[in-house]
Chain A
Amino acid sequence: MNEDIMIKIENVSYEYSSYIDESIQLAVKDLSLEVKRGEFLAVLGHNGSGKSTLAKMINGLILPSKGNVFVNGINTRDEERIWDIRSTAGMVFQNPDNQIVATIVEEDVAFGPENLGIPPAEIRKRVDDALEVVEMSEYKRHAPHLLSGGQKQRVAIAGILAMEPDCIIFDEPTAMLDPVGRQEVLDTVKKLNKEKNKTIILITHFMDEAVEADRILVLNEGESVMLGTPNDIFRKVDLLKSMGLDVPQVTELVYELNKEGYDFRDDILSVEELVDIL
């Protein structure tokens, strides 16, 4: 497999039986995607679009019904090597509380390396470094349940960083946070991509988070509907709205003005850009 490609998703489908009428439903339908090393990919979709299912197939928490997922060339179906996959493709989940295992922050961050059988001295170093990156070093010996949502998520991120993954998958990491917490987490995500060269896959339904990505994959009913840069994606205001998604208010304003006969650039995403073009 091409060295540049970190994750290869090949014609992947996921079936489950609906527990209302037991019919077979498809959460993900014949999806193919390649994620480049060091890329920041956002996966956008409304609740139920299949984005979480997709996320869990990337690190092998669930296996596709059809098709294959390769992480660094390893197939997630390979039972022997699933732990290699999970240590290189880490995952941060939505609920800040339900990821924290230990009663002290540094013990929780150490959980991953401990599972990998890393020697204690090395664990110590990784824990300290990881907490440094997420800016939570001063909370090293604190009890996690006293932290804010944003702080808990950063501890969870540190816990993944300590396993030294190449790629980190974020499954709606800010859905349960207040604005301050959301900003903390997003800043950390960007830092991990720009400064630490981690490949990032950010699952979200917030367009203002997707705006920061290199590419956006838009999912609807388990299918890939659009794949492109933020500028490409957000100009399709009608399509996004029809899928239950949002666009930044300024983008929508331009769209409305263009409906009145004007012809402004339709890839405006920020306040500054809009002020400039008018």
Chain B
Amino acid sequence: MLKDITIGQYFPGTSLIHKLDPRVKIAVTALFIASLFFISKFYPYIFIVLFIAAVIKTAKLPVKFILKGLRPLMFIILITFAINLFMTKGEVLFELGPLTVTKEGLRQSVFMALRLVFLITGTSLLTLTTSPIALTDGIERLLSPFKKIGLPAHELAMMMTIALRFIPTLLEETDKIMKAQMARGADFESGNIINRARNLVPLLVPLFINAFRRADDLATAMEARCYRGGDGRTRLNELSFKNMDYVVLTGMTAFFGILIATRYLG
């Protein structure tokens, strides 16, 4: 069951958005996030919402998935809301016991909470429409100019790919080990924090050994398939910009450029 969960929750599809070069999507996401931090008024948020809606519609993403991405971070959103609500100084609206709610606080808390929501949603859009492998390829290509200054872009990308590949496998292994130890009377649930940490040893030791063994086997297998680092490697699916990529990139740069500018203009 655990192995059916895809990391980053990629939602496969054939929409225009899915087919965009991952570098474009990464860049647009970066612009999106940047604009969120520059926007200082409420009205540009309408365009943010329109943007998100347009992406969801075009990529045919189920809204359920977007909301699922928000759920684990609900706590942080609420804390942010509360802190801004009660901590901002200004024109007092009303008091709740020791806590004061100001007009500025109300505005600030709503603004910040919305910013968080859009931030999380925006990154979800990226991972929902871009497969882990496309993302890794995109990041590798974007980082490759930095190889000149010693950044091991290829190695980092390879590490990410292998990690992604093995997460479901290791989760399965964890499940097996847990069950085997539970069958011997191990208890992973009860006790205080210290006890529970200690009780994890029968789980973590075999898991680590397993992971190292896999790594060793995999390295041997990769060597047997002539892997010798990134130099001279070609790719089955070379990333290359198509017309639509240029169009979207230009369009989105303009769009978010304008949104950023709203901070300084009217």
Contacts and interface: CB of A to CB of B under 8 A. Distances in A.
Direct A/B contact, Cβ within 8 angstroms: yes
Interface of A: 56, 59, 61, 83, 86-87, 90-91, 93, 95, 97-104, 106-107, 110-120, 123-124, 127, 143-146, 156, 159-160, 163
Nearest to A118: B234
Contacts of A115: 225-228, 233
B161 A103 contact: yes
Interface centre among A101, A116, A163 (most CB of B within 10 A): A101
Interface residues of B, number: 33
B237 A120 contact: yes
A86 B165 CA distance: 24
A146 B224 contact: no
Contacts of B161: 101-103
A114 B217 contact: no
A110 B225 CA distance: 10
Contact of B165 (A90, A119, A144): A144
A266 to B, nearest CB: 39
Interface in B220-239: 220-228, 232-238
B133 interface: yes
15 contacts: A61-B220, A86-B223, A93-B220, A98-B213, A98-B217, A99-B217, A99-B221, A100-B165, A101-B218, A107-B236, A111-B225, A112-B226, A115-B233, A124-B236, A146-B3
A148 to B, nearest CB: 13
Interface of B: 3-4, 6, 131-133, 161-162, 164-165, 168-169, 172, 213-214, 217-218, 220-228, 232-238
Contacts of B213: 98
Chain A interface mostly helix, strand, loop or mixed?
A: helix
Given A90-B224, A103-B165, A123 B236 contact: yes
A163 to B, nearest CB: 7
Contacts of B228: 83, 115
Contact of A86 (B132, B162, B226, B235): B226
Contacts of B168: 143, 145
Contacts of B3: 145-146
Given A98-B218, A106-B236, A87 B165 contact: no
A145 B164 CA distance: 11
Contacts of A102: 133, 161, 165
B226 A83 contact: yes
Contacts of A101: 161-162, 165, 218, 221-222
B179 to A, nearest CB: 18
Nearest to A84: B226
Contacts of B220: 56, 61, 93
Contact of B225 (A95, A97, A159): A159
